[in-house]
Amino acid sequence: MAAEEKFDVIVVGAGLAGSTAAYVLAKEGLQVLLIERGRQAGAKNMTGGIIYSRVVHEVFPNFWEEAPVERAITSYNIVFLGENSAVTLNLKAPGLGKPPYNAFSVLRAKFDRWIAGKAEEAGATLVTGVTVDELVMENGKVKGIKSGSDELLADVVIDAEGAKSLLVEKAGLRGDFKPEDVSVGVKELIELPEETVNERFNVGGGEGASYTLVGYTKGVAGGGFLYTNKASISLGIVARIDMLVEKQVKVHELIEDYKVHPFISKLIEGGNVAEYSAQIIHEGGIAQVPRLYSDGFLAAGSSACLLINNLFTLRGMDLAVASGAAAARAVLKAKERNDFSASSLSAYESLLREAFILTDMEAFRRTPSLLNNRRFFTVYPDLACSVMEELFSVNPAPSEKAFKVVRRHMKGKAGLLDVLRDLLGVYRAL
Amino acid sequence: MDKRLGLNKYEIDSESHIEVDKELCEKCEAKPCLFVCPAEVYKLEDGKLVYSYEDCLECGTCIIACKGMGRGAVNWRNPRGGFGIVYRYG
């Protein structure tokens, strides 16, 4: 890499946001350098996880025909876990398993290689195994990147390095992350034969199930997830960093608890753990989003903390694709004017609004504090389980009416006013 | 934990991408790194903090916990290009 070489755009990180940005820019004929620190695209990336399809389809039409997706999700479940029981809310919707689909389970090592390949096909130069250490700054303007002693210059640097967001910090666009705004997510990839997954989750070939798991986290704010891949299951936990410290709980202990819970143990029985991965997740919502651009610099995907959790859907990857495309389009506009100042790049923010990303994040701005309410991850899951167990049980004793059962189980755990207040919170947040 | 991490593929660098400021770390009573790291990179041995950068999953949890709840003694940077964790599934 020659020091005097100058690119139109340098994109840091060949994940979903970075490769999408590079793809859109290269397709328009710009000189794009896409830098990835892993040995290949995807080597450093992990997800729970499912990617919502329709937004991705706008950038990569019919991507499922060529991309390495695992399963089209047609069974959606929210599970409240009690000590020895579980209450499930299940949606079975075979219609969501037809084009343009709703969501796919994916594995990033494969998926990210595909999307980086799209950027390369479009004409972007992908270099792997190169870590960007610093930004080249001049009078507060970003002029390029540094890797070791190498310097590379560009009109614009798009930062798509992921959730650690180190360059955004170096560009002066954000302060320190707060432990209460960030969770650590860990995942075990558990291999099972494809037919076993089909049978166990009652899905047809190519179709899959997703589970959001609530409760059973030793009082730590967070929850779990379980997704079916083609011939494996992704099982994981997401736990707020500050609460792991407060409760002195280790996150892998929570995953061990999950694995022996009667609801989960049957689903993963006989499986073979093949990988253990981890990632941070920005859960602070719109309040946590840093400044998104400065002179010669844009941040996309999870380095910009773009994540929407509305309890039913947890969106990160499709936002990465959409924000990568929006960043690229903002750069294309700036290129027309040959002006890469912050004010010229500010079109990025309006493009993120037009893509409903910032507008949705604003709409769900109350969800983070709702999810921080201890009753939601400590009291209510257990309450749902114990009440349902009693309502479905018959004993040779006088029966109580349902509401009385609920009140009795609430005693000492949650007052009626708490519950009403929380319901109002749910109404406002969602 | 060793068994769990043994499932993963790593390209181990000869130099550490993690440095801990010993003075700052010794003053830290909370030591949040001991609880939050999903790979248990940070451990206490005879009351002193030791860390095995080779096991790092590069999630960044320790940076946030140490800065926000500890003394900011952990100095974490990305491993050199190509080194560190290599996810085969992700």
Q: Per-residue pLDDT for chain B (90 aa), expressed as one digit of tens each?
A: 889 999 999 999 999 999 999 999 999 999 999 999 999 999 999 999 999 999 999 999 999 999 999 999 999 999 999 999 999 999
Contact check, Cβ <8 Å, A244/B36: yes
Q: Is the pLDDT of residue A5 over 80?
A: no
Interface of A with B in 391-430 (CB under 8 A): none
Residue A395, judged by CB atoms within 10 A of its CB (0-12, 13-18, 19+), counts as exposed
pLDDT range class, residue A4, cuts 50, 70, 90: low
pLDDT range class, residue A371, cuts 50, 70, 90: confident
**Cα separation of A265 and A256, whole Å?**
10
Contact check, Cβ <8 Å, A131/B78: yes
What pLDDT was estimated at residue A372? 85
- Contact with chain A for residue B17, Cβ under 8 A: no
The number of CA neighbours under 13 Å toward the Cβ of A354 is: 10
Query: Which of B67, B86, B89 is facing A189, going by the closest CB pair?
Result: B89
**Cα separation of A374 and A222, whole Å?**
10
**Cα separation of A151 and A3, whole Å?**
6
Q: What percent of chain A has pLDDT over 90?
A: 95
Residue A398 is encoded by which pair of tokens?
């006088």
Q: Is the peptide bond before B38 cis (omega within 30 degrees of 0)?
A: no
Which of A240, A224, A214, A211 minimizes the C-alpha distance to A381?
A214
Residue B53 is encoded by which pair of tokens?
């950068």
Give start-end residues of each CATH 3.50.50.60 domain in chain A.
6-69+106-175+290-355
- Contact with chain A for residue B33, Cβ under 8 A: no
**Cα separation of A255 and A137, whole Å?**
43
Contact check, Cβ <8 Å, B79/A37: yes
Per-residue model confidence as pLDDT tens digits over A204-252: 999 999 999 999 999 999 999 999 999 999 999 999 999 999 999 999 9
Contact check, Cβ <8 Å, A39/B82: yes
- Contact with chain B for residue A390, Cβ under 8 A: no
For the segment(s) B2-79, the CATH number from 3.40.50.300, 3.30.70.20, 3.10.580.10, 3.30.450.40 is 3.30.70.20
* Chain A residues in contact with B67 (beta carbon < 8 A): 176-177
Which residue is listed with tokens 């840091």? A12
Give start-end residues of each CATH 3.30.9.90 domain in chain A.
180-282
CATH superfamily to which A6-69+106-175+290-355 belongs: FAD/NAD(P)-binding domain (3.50.50.60)
Q: Is the pLDDT of residue A406 over 60?
A: yes
CATH code for residues A180-282: 3.30.9.90
Q: Are A341 and A75 in contact (CB under 8 A)?
A: no
Torsion over CA: A110, A114, A119, A125 (sign): positive
Contact check, Cβ <8 Å, A178/B87: no
Q: Is the pLDDT of residue A1 over 70?
A: no
**Cα separation of A316 and A281, whole Å?**
9
The model carries a pTM of 0.96
- The whole-angstrom distance between B14's CA and the closest CA on chain A is 16
Rg (CA), chain B: 13
Q: Are B76 and B63 in contact (CB under 8 A)?
A: yes
Which of A259, A238, A214 minimizes the C-alpha distance to A375?
A214
Residue A71 is encoded by which pair of tokens?
């399963």
- Contact with chain A for residue B6, Cβ under 8 A: no
Per-residue model confidence as pLDDT tens digits over A157-176: 999 999 999 999 999 999 99
Q: Is the pLDDT of residue A202 over 60?
A: yes
